Structure 1
């Protein structure tokens, strides 16, 4: 077994690679009946960088595509507001068809009515990113402690997954920790090939990772790890997840930490929430809390960012797990995909704090 060897000094604590999107949110009104909506800037990889900067106070960056039109300006403003350092590959909009920054349409649902999410990723600039678009040697020469990407970005095109592999290899050559959130989406992989291709690329990426984030379904479908049938289960058992880890680390010997959230959805606004990690051969399980959910989108990224902060800050594994568990829970109490929490709030909840009014 082995522990994460994190650099002591670097210009950036954390760098993510992924596609930025803008999400249109009409609240609890079904989108088909919407007359107005909020605009949230998002992207699984960016969300983690933004959370680590805005809530946890780390120096973070994002390598991504940017388009020179109005939506791009909205996105740039949000990135600047969260103090995430941008590394943009620029694309010129033709005024008619793009390239575009993808649109996500989502309502929040309520009670027995589930949230509905759908997309327009046609002619997406992020999907056009390819190996060679970023000067990794220069970026990593300034020092980066942690490099991160995710499965949704990997599935956007045949070139995005290759770009992740390129970035991971450059990061590891520079002594940077690498992580990948599997976020396996069969529908996305089918648009560029098939599920077998998705599994092949996820495995190539995982071969270059120190840290994997993913639930049982992600491990099975993304990495081909055998496990129990998750389709028929309403609740995931931590023991079943841990039983798969030995197979994961045997197949991917560079992996030192594997993490996931556990969520049982009782209604749109009532969830049971927990998280687990396997690190250096040891198992850690958080408590389970009942959540009153305002918006569930981004909760998993909230968990990952809290966990990564804990590891970067040199916390004990159980403390790091609780910080991720607490921050992910808090993120579901906000609208939007990026945290509005403050670090003392996260730390208090991680220690077992309550929701009593603060005077």
Structure 2
């Protein structure tokens, strides 16, 4: 295994990022909504939650927490997913915050696409800065894997510095470091635009072993030029374009040992073709392709990342790890909400070619 994963540690994975609550009116557009579900989420947190709840790993999240009723709601869900929290607490003033961010996302349906928008005004997580976490305490007993992402990096000028501080502390523990670029145009526009995104993410990625991201992430987030697309490689499921992007990326960041992403062809909101690819120190791996009947696509990429990380942490081959990520991400789109409801046996069965026949 090219990735050096320490055999024993108190924690399998620690995620650093923001916790949010997503308001979901289902297929009803928000302007017509009368009720909604509340999902606890966060691009970085979701990976820790999935690894704990589905795969039975020991995970933790380092994040901001606000002491008000929404914070209590979110803390209850973190506990329910079995994730150990390390909170930097903030007091709410009863009027303006600081707040735990709200994400608004209707699911769309058929030819109507999902719509996502945010209220991240005066967000507590954006106030996090180096020195807010005692990494020696968080990593006490050892750590195998550290994970963060581009959503958290976009929140303020201090969050990227905290990510780098955490990565350095994790490296000193002998942990593998991963980063999901998760480029979000709306967030980076509010944070200074593509120029700041590239400068910020390139500094972070220079500390990373494992990178998760698609072509847009690498082009707009890292400023890496892509290969010329020909008529033969126009399909979004063709892995050659992505592998070309990887070659260009690792030339600029030779510290990267692994790159992975999902490949998705959207026919309409509820019907996607789904595949994934993984590059590990020059070797290329491609998953099968399946058709997804999507209930809720939010969190599918985090589900993929969690499955891959589980495979690698459990000593599986690159092919097996890729299939576990592909299978778990696919299953996650069949559930409401952002985090897993799958059982590890279901993921293993689908990764090996299982079907949707009734289980009796």
TM range (shorter): over 0.9
Q: CA deviation at 1:245?
A: 1.7
Q: CA deviation at 1:285?
A: 0.2
Counterpart of 2:312?
311
Superposed CA deviations along residues 27-63 of structure 1, whole A, max 9, x for unmatched, are 1111111111110000011100000000000000000
Q: Matches of 2:167 and 2:238 in 1, distance apart? A: 31
Q: Matches of 1:246 and 1:228 in 2, distance apart? A: 9
Q: Matches of 2:339 and 2:131 in 1, distance apart? A: 29
Counterpart of 1:6?
5
Matching of residue 145 in structure 1 with residue 177 in structure 2: no
Counterpart of 1:282?
283
SS of the residue corresponding to residue 271 of structure 1 reads: strand
Q: Matches of 2:24 and 2:335 in 1, distance apart? A: 13
Q: Matches of 1:42 and 1:175 in 2, distance apart? A: 28
Runs of 4+ in 1 over 3 A off after TM superposition: none
1:141–1:174 Cα contact (<8 Å) kept = no
Counterpart of 1:343?
344
Counterpart of 1:117?
116
TM-score (norm 2): 0.97
Counterpart of 1:179?
178
Superposed CA deviations along residues 92-121 of structure 1, whole A, max 9, x for unmatched, are 000000000000111111111111111100
Mapping 1:173-322, distance limit 5 Å: 173-228=172-227, 235-322=236-323
2:107–2:114 Cα contact (<8 Å) kept = yes
Q: CA deviation at 1:229?
A: 7.1
TM-aligned CA distance change 1:321 to 1:70, over 3 Å: same
State the aligned residue count: 357
SS of the residue corresponding to residue 136 of structure 2 reads: helix
SS of the residue corresponding to residue 157 of structure 1 reads: coil
Q: CA deviation at 1:225?
A: 1.1
Q: Matches of 2:328 and 2:169 in 1, distance apart? A: 30
1:276–1:283 Cα contact (<8 Å) kept = yes
SS of the residue corresponding to residue 146 of structure 2 reads: strand
Q: CA deviation at 1:236?
A: 4.7
Q: Tell me, which stretches of 5 or more residues in structure 1 are unaligned?
A: none
Q: Tell me, which stretches of 5 or more residues in structure 2 are unaligned?
A: none
Counterpart of 2:130?
131
2:86–2:138 Cα contact (<8 Å) kept = no
Mapping 1:22-101, distance limit 5 Å: 22-101=21-100
TM-score (norm 1): 0.97
